[in-house]
């Protein structure tokens, strides 16, 4: 019984850590260009015309696989968007895709 409680607790802690981790990674590695809210209202965002990820049209046009690919391999159109596959784990990249989905404005 005690083990089961501990297990449930450990699992829910792990799930929370997952979500927090994506936000942390975003803040540490992505925010400087893409902005806290993905709108890219940053110096580099303006200079490079980075897309506003909160736009429903962008969210609709991009599949999870498209987003994952840009994060893993970088952009073929703009070398400022680097490949992160050697810096992030596949799980972190997946979590970032989920995090980017939360930017969509209603």
Nearest to 95 by CA among 22, 46, 12, 31: 22
Q: Which is nearer to ligand HEC, 8 or 80 (CB)?
A: 80
Q: Which is nearer to ligand HEC, 17 or 64 (CB)?
A: 64
Q: Which is nearer to ligand HEC, 13 or 64 (CB)?
A: 64
Q: How far is the C-alpha of 95 from the C-alpha of 21, rounded, in Å?
A: 8
- Give the count of alpha carbons within 13 A of 2, CB side only: 0
List of residues contacting ligand HEC (CB under 6 A): 29-30, 32-34, 44, 48, 50-51, 62, 67, 70-71, 75, 77-78, 80-81, 84, 96
């Amino acid at each position: 019984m005690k083990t089961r409680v501990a297990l449930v607790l450990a699992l829910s802690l792990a799930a929370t850590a997952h979500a927090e981790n994506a936000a942390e990674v975003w803040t540490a590695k992505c925010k400087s260009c893409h902005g806290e809210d993905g709108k890219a209202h940053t110096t580099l965002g303006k200079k490079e015309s980075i897309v506003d990820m909160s736009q429903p049209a962008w969210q609709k046009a991009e599949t999870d696989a498209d987003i994952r690919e840009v994060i893993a391999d970088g952009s073929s159109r703009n070398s400022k968007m680097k490949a992160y596959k050697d810096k992030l784990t596949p799980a972190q990249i997946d979590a970032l895709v989920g995090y980017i989905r939360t930017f969509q404005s209603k």
